[in-house]
Amino acid sequence: MARYQVILSYDGTDFLGFQRQSDGRTVQGAVEHALHQIGWRDQSVLAAGRTDAGVHASGQVIAFDLNWAHSRFDLQRALNANLPDDVAVKAVGIADESFHPRYDAKARLYQYQIFIEESRNPLKERYAWRVWPELSLDLMLAGTRQITGTHDFASFGSPLKPGGSTIRTIFEANWNRAALDYTFIIQGNAFLYRMVRRIIFFMVQIGRGDIDPESVPDWLKDGKTPVQGLAPSCGLNLVEVIYPH
């Protein structure tokens, strides 16, 4: 018996999120079904995070115990043969028996895609938020610079458990632009429920000129006034979960 550490990639469009639910299609359900097909007998995999409905991942991390007589490369091929087309195992490793993908993680890296276009673009909108008119990158950068560091993000999200801490540390947050495509990168030690999507929505309002970027510290100090709005899930991608080793 060994504990396997697996990196997953998935298109979240047709899933109700990562976490298994009593009714509806989930990533966890698809992965556990594939595992049962190859002899796994446990009830639940461990995961680094629970992405929302419609959110994608190129670096989700899960772990499970399995008595597997073949190589980890054979395990990768066996799982991919039993997974649906919108989920894939990118890599399989053997971890310490105490490894937990959520509690052992030191940071998570997310990426969000926005494109500026007046008319609908079906080839882009599966993986990005269409915004119109054009945004001010300078204003968004001015706002984004103020969220790095350790702050109380209660206005931007809620803890996973009632009464949990809303203090989080953001190591990096930045915008990049190529023509009319904007990419937001954020890395933090952990994130509140829907925190990244609320931050993005807030920064887009800054980019539109509706919110003063200098007001960001006030929102971080207040903590009682929630941001009213949420960026669409389609643009968000869990890129990497970072561990000490």
As given in the structure block, the two tokens for residue 184 are 């937001």
Task: Report residue 115 CA to chain centroid gap.
Answer: 19
As given in the structure block, the two tokens for residue 34 are 């594939």
Sign of CA dihedral 134, 137, 143, 144: positive
Place of tokens 């998935």: 10
Q: Who's near 67: CB < 8 A, 6+ residues apart?
A: 1, 2, 39
Euclidean distance between CA atoms 169 and 244, whole angstroms:
17
List the catalytic residue out of 23, 42, 52, 96. 52
- Is 52 assigned a catalytic role? yes
As given in the structure block, the two tokens for residue 7 are 């990196």
Q: Indicate which residues carry an active-site annotation.
A: 52
